[in-house]
Amino acid sequence: MTNTWQDIKNANVVVVMGGNAAEAHPCGFKWVIHAKIENHAKLVVVDPRFTRTASVADVYAPIRPGTDIAFLNGVIRYLLEKDLIQHDYVRAYTNASLIVKDGFGFEDGLFTGYKEDTHSYDKTSWDYELDGQGYAKVDDTWQDPRCVINLLRKHVDRYTPQMVSSICGTPQDKFLEICALFATTAAPDKAMTSLFALGWTQHSVGAQNIRAMAMVQLLLGNIGVAGGGMNALRGHSNIQGLTDVGLLSTSMPGYLVLPKDSEPTYKQYMATRQYKPLRPGQVSYWQNYGKFFVSLQKAIYGDAARADNDWAYDWLPKFDGGGYDIIRAFEMMNAGQMNGYICQGFNPMQAFPDRGKIRRGLSKLKFLVVMDPLDTETSRFWENFGPQNPSDPAKIQTEVFQLPTTCFAEETGSLVNSSRWMQWHWKAADPPGEAQTDIWIMSGIFHRMREMYRKEGGAFPDPILNLTWSYTNPTDPDPEELAKDMNGRALADIKDPTGTVTQHAGQLLDGFSQLRDDGTTTSGCWIFSGSFTEKGNQMARRDATDPREQGLAPNWAWSWPANRRIMYNRASADPNGKAWNPKKPIIEWNGSHWAGIDVPDFVPTIAPSESAGPFIMNAEGAGRLFARDQMAEGPFPEHYEPFESPSPNLLHPKVKSNPAARVFADDRAAFGSAADFPYVATTYRLTEHFHFWTKHALINAILQPEEFIEIGEALAKEKGIGQGGWVRVSSKRGFVVCKAYVTKRIRPLQVNGKATHVIGVPIHWGFTGQARKGFGANTLTPSVGDANTQTPEFKAFLVNIEKASGPAT
């Protein structure tokens, strides 16, 4: 989230699209209700189904799964055509005025630079026209046809209300009603918040879904302000923390990037990281990349990371090309290229697409280590559970180790919530049986492996042998010790620019501004720096005092970065430093520095007159309506159909789906066609359950006991399916036999003139736990991911449905 949960109450319009906040985030949803009651906010829900969120919405519009970009580009077109944008904000704080290179273009569904053979782009043309000093050229009058706003205008021109309705199936009147409501927040003192989750990420165009809304928000001046922002509602209590510490195959902690094969030296690696400002006077904070990186290396390797060995750069893995995401991992397992799997706190048998492929992959492993508090489907994949898991143990040679772990209440530590708050929690109960903390288990594995490397050598022992590991109890490091590692400490006395020593050697750092690239500081995750200082554990703070009751509570826990609650909050003030919304200011220029109720997301002493942009992580200091080379499939979002879709791409029939997506050949072969699988399916969560965990809890099992799918009344009638009757839902990859909920909440959509039926598949049931056995929605879903993140396309695929005579046998 750019903002906080509590800040939602400041919104005038709340749009829930690409998510189902009431259903999946009921506790956080209280702030939407606050917005409605205290701020008279309007709630807009756009969803294929009439959800629990829709049940309290002011406006609901249906949409075909996987067509959000068409909808949002239509919104952008509406805003630009009717000139309902926040002009001063867009002009000053976005890259609308910057001029794009002549070579850039878009034709027939492809941006310039497409390489058919690799399904990727040469992105050199996706950039600004630079002047002699290396600064982007600008036309503040927006007359130049090559300036971003005009290219955007041209790009979205095709997304007329008729076209939007034809692609999305959304009735035009509902679409226009929603556009008009969004547009009301273009007023400087009005804000709209966008709440989204997996409904946007789990698409082959997931990242672009989010970008499209971010652009709407920039045009309306809703980023950085109270009640605004792009707010990703995270699905697990610590999934934000997972991303923050870089548990992705191409990431390192703090959103640093793992080196590639093509960056064999530290120098080469750094050449493309320290972004030089693209406009005069910009902060371009990534210029400090080296400080973050060196401090990270010092945290990992301690004294072994030295200037003369490029801070142990050579010991980092270098990834080759696409990254080792989970889709690729299972592809490799199936190909026999990956033989061992340590599965920590993850249940791919339920959580990853094409369950058959997952099962086949696990069956080919030599060993599988599962670390989980629960008896997961993954740990029992080899066992026959009837039709729900038809494995034959005699034919599976995988050795499975189940290592029971503690759950959150049985351990001390921190969780990062959607608001980026790092909240410390304390152990409440002893774990049952032989369960141990993940830290204890990983320490044990580490010590044994290091011992083996020490004794037996090996191909490349250095990264293991040189790992720094100085904890009071080396076999079970204390969570506080680890938290201090993350925060970082001074290795030598640290001086501020005036020469005063701010931190003595050995002391914990106050924040990332103290990090150095000369090896005198460590920090395991630079954005967490400041969370555990000499003043104590900031994450453990529990002071709920909230200045002006604006939902910031700055002394409650600690929010990265720098305890800042609202990102880009410089943009809450106009170019002169006065709040756009005088009733809800966040920071303002007081004549000498920026001050207010939040930590400024800005250099506090840069005056408005210096015209530095508020988006300090971007080299141009501006919010990007044009993404330059940051996205895989183009600098503007474009509508591409899901990989399984019943409709042609009405905009460019030749380029139907995301041209930059990586699709493995066997996965492509497992895509079904609309001829065989005529119905659009989408998966989702229900309030009663948390993923695949709470089916192990009796109360949750009682509240939602058995697998079902949802279909509209029209399709049910056509297929002779009765309320609660048995059905068989199949995709090219597998089938599910379960009960049907025939509902008014899903209605056929008119797509390209044809009635398109949507089938909803909740995901929660498996073959372990207290609830009734189920097949699992991932039996049906296709193995294809977003072109940028490889997040699987769970939200739009094709199925067939037939009436079944009874439960599967």
Partner 1 sequence: MTELQSQDYIRRSASTLTPPSARRHEQEVAKLIDVSRCIGCKACQSACMEWNDLRGEVGHFEGSYDNPKDLDPNTWTLMRFTEWENDKGDLEWLIRKDGCMHCEDPGCLKACPAPGAIVQYANGIVDFNSEACIGCGYCVKGCPFDIPRVSQKDHKSYKCTLCSDRVAVGLEPACVKACPTGAIMFGSKSDMTAWAGERVEELKSRGFKNAGLYDPAGVGGTHVMYVLHHADKPSIYAGLPDSPQISPFVGLWKGAVKPLAVAGIALAAIAGFFHSVVAGPNEVQPEDEAEGRRLLDRQDDAP
Contacting residue, 459, 665, 675, 699, with partner 1 by CB under 8 A: 699
Q: Give the residue with the Cβ less far from partner 1, 236 or 447.
A: 236
CB 126 within 8 A of CB 635: yes
Q: Which is nearer to partner 1, 173 or 610 (CB)?
A: 173
Taking the C-alpha atoms of residue 15 and residue 399, their distance in angstroms, rounded to an integer, is 48
Smallest gap, in angstroms, from Cβ of residue 68 to partner 1? 21
The binder of partner 1 chosen from 449, 723, 752, 754 (CB under 8 A): 723
Pair 325, 781: CB distance under 8 Å? no
438 binds partner 1 (CB under 8 A): no
Q: Does 742 bind partner 1 (CB under 8 A)?
A: yes
Print the binding letters for residues 232-271 with partner 1: x by CB under 8 A, - otherwise. Answer: ----------------------------------------
Interface residue with partner 1 among 251, 741, 802, 803 (CB under 8 A) is 741
Q: Which is nearer to partner 1, 279 or 745 (CB)?
A: 745
Q: Which of 189, 410, 706, 718 binds partner 1 (CB under 8 A)?
A: 706
Residues 278-317, interacting with partner 1 (CB under 8 A): none
Q: Does 329 bind partner 1 (CB under 8 A)?
A: no
- Can you say how many angstroms the Cα of residue 478 is from the centroid of all Cα atoms in its chain? 29
User: Should residue 27 be labelled a site residue for partner 1 when binding is judged by CB under 8 A?
Assistant: yes
Q: Using the rule CB under 8 A, which residue among 739, 789, 803, 808 binds partner 1?
A: 739
How near is the Cβ of 201 to partner 1 at its closest, in Å? 22
Beta carbon of residue 26, minimum distance to partner 1 (angstroms, whole number): 4
Q: Which stretch binds partner 1 (CB under 8 A): 207-215, 418-426, 440-448, 736-744?
A: 736-744
The packing angle between helices 68-81 and 206-219, to 10°, is 20
- Determine which residue in the list 390, 432, 536, 724 makes contact with partner 1, applying CB under 8 A: 724
Please report, for residues 340, 435, 437, the alpha-carbon distance to residue 372 in angstroms, rounded to integers and kept in the order given.
17, 9, 10
CB of 746 to partner 1, least distance (A): 10
CB of 41 to partner 1, least distance (A): 11
List, in order, residues 6 or more apart from 775 with CB less than 8 Å away: 387, 388, 707, 734, 735, 736, 737, 738, 765, 808
| SS3 annotation, 123-175 | HHHCCECECCCCCECECCCCCCCCEHHHHHHHHHCCCCHHHHHHHHCCCHHHH
| Span interacting with partner 1, options 96-104, 183-191, 636-644, 693-701, rule CB under 8 A | 693-701
How many chain residues are in contact with partner 1, going by CB under 8 A? 44
Nearest distance, CB of residue 716 and partner 1, angstroms: 11
Asked if residues 253 and 296 have their Cβ atoms less than 8 Å apart, the reply is: yes
Mapping DSSP onto H, E and C, the string for 352-414 reads CCCHHHHHHHHHCCCEEEEEECCCCCCCCCCCECHHHCECCHHHCCCEEEEEEECCHHHCCEE
The enclosing H or E element of 764 equals none
| Residues 220/237, Cβ–Cβ less than 8 Å | no
Closest CA to 130 of 176, 91, 107, 99: 99
| Residue 708 interacting with partner 1 (CB under 8 A) | yes
> Smallest distance from the beta carbon of 133 to partner 1, in angstroms?
54
**CB of residue 572 to partner 1, shortest distance in Å:** 27
How many Å apart are CA 233 and CA 1, to the nearest integer?
7
Closest to partner 1 by CB, 275 vs 741, is: 741
SS (H, E, C) 52-66: CCHHHCCEEECCCCC
Quote the CA–CA distance of 626 and 207 in Å, as a whole number.
14
CB 581 within 8 A of CB 188: yes
CB burial string 119-137: b at 16+ within 10 A, e below? bbbebebbbbbeeeeebbb
**Is 417 among the residues that bind partner 1 (CB under 8 A)?**
no
Neighbours of 110 (CB within 10 A): 19
Given the complex with partner 1, which of 8 and 283 has the nearer CB atom? 8
For residue 791, count other CB atoms closer than 10 A to its CB: 20
Span near partner 1 by CB under 8 A; candidates 20-28, 88-96, 241-249, 669-677: 20-28
Least CB distance to partner 1 at residue 737 (A)? 13
> Using CB under 8 A, which of the segments 32-40, 84-92, 153-161, 386-394 binds partner 1?
32-40
Q: Does 704 bind partner 1 (CB under 8 A)?
A: yes
Residue type, 180: A
Q: Does position 767 bind partner 1 by CB under 8 A?
A: no
Stated length of the chain: 809
* Least distance between partner 1 and beta carbon 171 (Å): 11
Residue 26 interacting with partner 1 (CB under 8 A): yes
Among 535, 702, 717, 752, binds partner 1 (CB under 8 A): 702
Q: Is 33 in the site for partner 1 (CB under 8 A)?
A: yes
- State which residue, 62 or 479, has the beta carbon closest to partner 1: 62
Which one, of 379, 437, 377, lies nearest residue 407 by Cα? 437
Shortest Å, Cβ 688 to partner 1: 6
> Residue 30, interface with partner 1 (CB under 8 A)?
yes
- What does the alpha-carbon distance between residue 334 and residue 322 come to, in Å, rounded to a whole number? 18
Query: For residues 271 and 698, which CB has a smaller minimum distance to partner 1 in the complex?
Result: 698
Rounded to the nearest whole angstrom, what is the least distance from the CB of residue 169 to partner 1 in the complex?
16
Taking CB under 8 A as the criterion, the residue among 745, 757, 764, 773 binding partner 1 is: 745
Half-sphere CA count of 423, side-chain side, radius 13 A:
18
Rounded to a whole number of angstroms, the minimum distance from the CB of residue 198 to partner 1 is 18
Minimum Å gap between C-beta 687 and partner 1 is: 4
Q: Using CB under 8 A, which of the segments 29-37, 272-280, 423-431, 776-784 binds partner 1? A: 29-37
- Residue that has been written with the tokens 């395991």 in this structure: 524
Residue placing its CB nearer to partner 1 in the complex, 705 or 748: 705
- Reference 240, options 6, 422, 21, 7; nearest CA is 422
Residues 6+ apart with CB under 8 A from 138: 97, 98, 99, 147, 279
| Contact status: 22 vs partner 1 (CB under 8 A) | yes
Closest contact distance (angstroms) between CB of 20 and partner 1 is 10
> Within 429-513, where are the H helices?
438-456, 462-465, 479-487
Helix (H, G, I), strand (E, B) or coil at 502: strand
Which segment (235-243, 520-528, 653-661, 682-690) binds partner 1 by CB under 8 A? 682-690
Give the whole-angstrom CA distance, residue 211 versus residue 232: 12
What is the Cα–Cα distance from 7 to 3, expressed in whole angstroms? 6
Residue number, 27 or 394, with CB nearest to partner 1: 27
Q: Are 6 and 31 in contact (CB under 8 A)?
A: yes
Pick 30 or 728: Cβ nearer partner 1: 30
**Sole binder of partner 1 in the list 700, 756, 768, 788 (CB under 8 A):** 700
Q: Does 771 bind partner 1 (CB under 8 A)?
A: yes
Residue 52 C-beta: closest distance to partner 1, Å: 5
Site for partner 1 in 36-65 (CB under 8 A): 36-37, 40, 50, 52-56, 58, 60
| Span between the terminal Cα atoms of the chain, in Å | 45
Nearest CA to 366 out of 401, 324, 327, 404 is that of: 401
Residue 574 vs 688, nearer CB to partner 1: 688
Residues found near partner 1 in the complex (CB under 8 A): 22-23, 26-27, 29-30, 33, 36-37, 40, 50, 52-56, 58, 60, 686-688, 698-708, 723-724, 738-739, 741-745, 770-772
